[in-house]
Amino acid sequence: FEIFNLDMKTGDTLKIKGKISEDADGFSINLGCKSSDLALHFNPRFNESVIVCNSRCSNAWQAEHRDNNLCFSKGSTIKITIEMLADKFQVKLPEGHEVEFPNRHCYDKISYMSVKGGFRVTSFKL
């Protein structure tokens, strides 16, 4: 699932609903200018029971941010809300849990989005 003309700007909120597959090791939601330049790589990993967030610059991964509150499970249907602020991304998850990740590239516009791995998007709204 890839979009190349997203047009997400500072202050915008992206809502993604979908179903996590029963056999998923994990999945990722990526936001940036292109796959090699990501402002936000949101990556729940079920095999490690962790949510990893990162950014990517010219194909090089930067320092990982790890959150040990994996508040959803394989086979569940979830809604994820990502708010893009000037200095950070605020990711709202089930059960009121939130993950914050800095906007390291200081992007004010995001054109690229991809969803990979064991997550099937049923709807999204910007």
User: What is the pTM for the complete model shown?
Assistant: 0.96
Q: Would you say residue 58 lies in a domain? A: yes
Q: Are 112 and 14 in contact (CB under 8 A)?
A: no
Residue 60 structure tokens? 């090089």
Q: Are 33 and 107 in contact (CB under 8 A)?
A: yes
pLDDT in tens, 34-48: 999 999 999 999 999
Res 123: pLDDT:
96
Q: Would you say residue 75 lies in a domain? A: yes
- Percent with pLDDT over 70 in the chain: 100
Q: Per the structure, how many domains does the chain have? A: 1
Output the average pLDDT for the chain: 96
Res 12: pLDDT:
98
Res 24: pLDDT:
96
Q: Would you say residue 93 lies in a domain? A: no
Q: Would you say residue 68 lies in a domain? A: yes
Res 103: pLDDT:
97
Res 95: pLDDT:
87
**CATH number of domain containing 47:** 2.60.120.200
Mean pLDDT confidence for 10-28: 97
Name the 3-class secondary structure at 96: helix
Q: Would you say residue 87 lies in a domain? A: no
Angle at CA of residue 82, ends 78 and 85, nearest 5°: 165
Q: Which domain covers residue 66, as residue numbers?
A: 2-82+107-125
pLDDT in tens, 51-107: 999 999 999 999 999 999 898 999 999 999 999 999 999 999 998 999 999 999 999
